[in-house]
Structure 1
């Protein structure tokens, strides 16, 4: 791994307190289900831990656009003195399909299917689809022209799969990786991501696909476009903008 890349799970959310799964893009996830007051303090504490670990105002904070992650990223970046977080729909929570708005106990059912390399039903997002979209982000932030520390703020399953990928673990076994608590900040491992094998006898995940704007598994727009058709915080040429882009006013840089 060339670059200094960190992951940060969102702080305690109202859904955590209520014991509910909220994963479908829509008003609840994007607006209503945000952090509790405890979750906001957890995010600020993560910022203070980041400062202790050497992160600072030059850090590039990329976040899921779901409210609980976005609010975490804002609190965290504020403590660092960093620029406002850039939102990337590819960092959204894994879609749990028919389990959405249901009890969090359903997570165990999904993870059991993951471990068995089974086929999910009811619109649950397959592990390989999550690995593909998070893999795209990891490749971009590990590019030579990203010359600052990067913090990815997202959700439990998405970041567990990212940690597994970077540790060289089959992403189906993401629960074998020590799980992230609320607002836990962790540096990614050193394994370089190229293509990710998703299990013996299964196809290789092509982590480079999706850069042509084609829809994802659930019909959400691909690279560079949010679900409502507005551009995401990436350059017109498709790569994540760096602080140097902003300083130099490079064409296509996000404002």
Structure 2
């Protein structure tokens, strides 16, 4: 059975400051670099056969930590980027609460946001699903695919792959930096959630 590991990037300075990143291209902090280097050997123990990554620097750099210990080639795919948060990007949560109180409150509840240029949930889920399905379809049946990506993007992809209503996405909880969600695809039963927030 195929194992798909959705691996969130290491910490950035913006993560530490509770600043909204979205598709703003921020680098890993020193803490984030250490997190990536610490988690790469644990992922190596899963015997990965395919490595794909978002092309944003924080995810690409995280993926390179696994390249360094595995020798696997990495394929960068912009469809694995984080959800775009439009005008919110660069603002702290406190600032966004002050400037967009109603829509930011909806986001915090896991609801759709229809202003400030925030990308629709369905758009994120569709592009993530397409990229991941393409990787799975191009791999061997028992492949172990690691996708270095982002927190919200990974959550929506998980829900889409499992066939759950998107309203259940918040119940997964936030994926922590350099933690992962494991999904396994059974030939008969389809995708199954094996683990979430694995260190």
Matched, 1:140 2:134: yes
Q: Which has the larger radius of gyration?
A: 1
Please tell me whether residue 121 in structure 1 is matched to residue 110 in structure 2.
no
Q: Deviations over 1:179-199 (max 9, x none)?
A: 311001331254747xxxxxx
Q: Normalised by the size of structure 1, how large is the TM-score? A: 0.63
Q: Paired residue for 1:104?
A: 93
Identify which of 175, 195, 198 aligns with 2:170: 175
Give the CA deviation at 1:40: 1.2
Report deviation, 1:167.
2.9
Q: In the alignment, what sits opposite 1:61?
A: 51
Specify the alignment match of 2:150 in structure 1: 155
- Bigger strand share: 2
Aligned-residue Cα RMSD (Å) equals 2.3
Higher RCO (CA-CA < 8 Å; seq separation 6+): 2
Q: TM-score, normalised by structure 2?
A: 0.79
How far the C-alpha of 1:15 sits from its partner, in A, is 1.2
Number of equivalences: 179
In the TM superposition, residue 171 of structure 1 has moved relative to its aligned partner by 2.3
Cα gap change, 1:99 to 1:15, in 2 (>3 Å): same
Contact 1:163 1:189 in 2 (8 A): no
Q: Which runs of 5+ in 1 are unaligned?
A: 194-255
**Runs of 5+ consecutive residues of structure 2 not aligned to the other structure:** 98-103, 192-199
Contact 2:110–2:170 under 8 Å retained in 1: no
